[in-house]
Structure 1
Amino acid sequence: MTKNQVDTILKSLGYYDSFKELMNQTYLDIDYGKRLGVISFDSIFEADHKYAYNGDVGIAQFQEWNIILNSKYVSEEQILIVCLKIFDWGNVLTGNVKSVVNLYEQKKLKKYIHKVTELLTFQKTLEKPNFINDTILWSSGWTKVYSFINPDILIYDSRVSAFLNFTLIRNYNSLSENQKEIFQKLSNQLFNFSGALGRERKVAALYGFKNQHPKGIDGFNANLISSWITQCTKERLGINKSIRSFEKAFFMLGFDLKQIKDKG
């Protein structure tokens, strides 16, 4: 699948008009628990402004990580340290340390990062037969690394995925049978995965999203497609926001779908 194909599908489904309506929808009294309490948003992008998860890491540090990951003149050690810092920032050290340390010990980490940097710019999903002898990593940690390599790539986690899927299914019931078939060509490439216990992150199975946790090339491709959806939406609607703004808004609003699904 290509970015242009994603754009064509979204246009044929009326997604851009639907998203435009959602932009100014209010999301009232979302209960985030003890840490953040109850928060209301007057629009999707007010959720970006009220994003509260950067911790102690500032913009300057984020920019430094981007520079190191994109440099040809850094060492394996420098890249390892940045990856570990990103995993730590995202609270995803567990389960991700082994993969990055393995690449480092094999002296393949720098090469892998440079390869992925190129793949993230392609406007076409990866085809498995072309990567039989290559490992493509995808996890809750690696999606964060990829986002720091390329600012147009979403961090594709359960919360971002949840709200993105929510926007996609909004006018599903008004689609024709032919449009529903087209819809599933897109949804079949994306994931419907659970997050924290007690939080609703999944949409109904009938929409055709993959009901499992993404990994490998399938996860990488879903990360690309989700990023293209936001890129195309930004471009088609002339939204003067960064992909990071979409990501932060989706992260906040994807916390618990049962608290917002009656909106709009």
Structure 2
Amino acid sequence: MKTKQAYATLPHVSGFIDWLAAELDSKTLFNHQYVDRRSGNEWSCDSLFNAYESYSWSFPGNARLAYNTGSCSTSNAKALEALRQDLLAAGTDDTLVLQAATDVMAWGGVTARNVGWLKANKVGLGRMIQEVKIALIQKDPDAPVLRSKALRFNAGMTKIYSLICPDFLIYDSRVAAALGLLVVNYCKAKGLTQVPSALCFPWACAKENENVSAPKRRNPSTGTLQFTRLRSGAHHARWNMRANWVLSQVIAHQAAAQSPFQQIDAPANALRGLEQALFMMGYDLGHAGQVSNG
């Protein structure tokens, strides 16, 4: 697609891909730690793959789809595969798509508002999701369906499209935070004082009480390296596709051919593993450096 090629040729896109592919297994660049607010335990990793190895997402079981509750990468991979097959089998049948999509929201812990919207928009839901799917597969952010004001594209819907589109990652606030952190490392390595516009992956706040005593940091901005806020709809869809493109190219890069990410077994794959590594790192970026309040 012309749109994909246009993004690929923007300044620093190929440079970031080359850099990250070469540093993908670095044991020095991606040391990270934080305190899990629920358990009170400290989480840490010494590499991106180590972050993947420590992946944890607790999800409820689903008797209809025959998977049990779990939290590790293996159990999540099985649940996601069952959800993916269910979504694909639903086709454009609104009732089946509603049921499948609702189960995805339950897995992702994002039923609030999302399920209500899905139910309210049941009529035509199957066809709408298929139209968005086609535009995403064609990597065309300017497709009318992706520019429509009626488009719902948020942390919930990205989970649905990550299951029915090939090489499509979940772009939520945690993944966005960690991807921004990688860009900060790239900028520092290259002596850049501004975040290149093509790498300015937008961030979103964690869902938590405004008065929480220890808020989680999801804004990767530091000093003059500033990132913008993520907006739902077309903005989210466009940057989700850009993140897909960049990280897919990193995984496919010759410099990453021997990375342990390549050894991840089906039904998961290297891209899903990298997404899960970023998900874990992006829980809290910590408070080092000067962070913008914007």
TM-score (norm 1): 0.82
How is 1:106-255 mapped onto 2 (pairs within 5 angstroms)?
107-126=123-142, 131-132=147-148, 135-173=150-188, 175=190, 183-187=196-200, 190-197=201-208, 198-204=215-221, 206-211=224-229, 213-236=230-253, 237-238=256-257, 239=259, 240=262, 241-255=269-283
Unaligned segments of structure 1, at least 5 residues:
none
Q: Following TM superposition, by how much is the alpha carbon of 1:19 offset from its aligned partner in structure 2, in angstroms?
A: 5.1
Larger relative contact order (Cα-Cα within 8 Å, sequence gap ≥ 6)? 1
Aligned pair count reads 254
Q: Distance in 1 between matches of 2:108 and 2:99?
A: 14
Aligned to 1:40: 44
For residues 97-139 of structure 1, the C-alpha deviation after alignment (integer angstroms, 9 at most, x for no partner) is 22211221xx20110121122112113322569845x732111
Q: Distance in 2 between matches of 1:176 and 1:127?
A: 36
Amino acid at match of 1:245: G
Tell me which protein shows more helix as a share of its residues.
Answer: 1
Q: Distance in 2 between matches of 1:36 and 1:81?
A: 35
Q: Following TM superposition, by how much is the alpha carbon of 1:61 offset from its aligned partner in structure 2, in angstroms?
A: 3.6
Aligned to 1:258: 286
User: Using a 3 Å threshold, how does the CA distance of structure 1 residues 235 and 34 change in structure 2: closer, same or farther?
Assistant: same
Amino acid at match of 2:217: E
Q: Distance in 2 between matches of 1:208 and 1:146?
A: 28
Unaligned segments of structure 2, at least 5 residues:
60-68, 209-214, 263-268, 290-294
Amino acid at match of 2:118: V
Determine if contact 2:132/2:146 at 8 Å carries over to the other structure. Answer: no
Q: CA RMSD in A?
A: 3.1
Q: Distance in 2 between matches of 1:76 and 1:52?
A: 32
Q: Secondary structure at the match of 1:138?
A: coil
Aligned to 2:266: none
Amino acid at match of 2:5: N
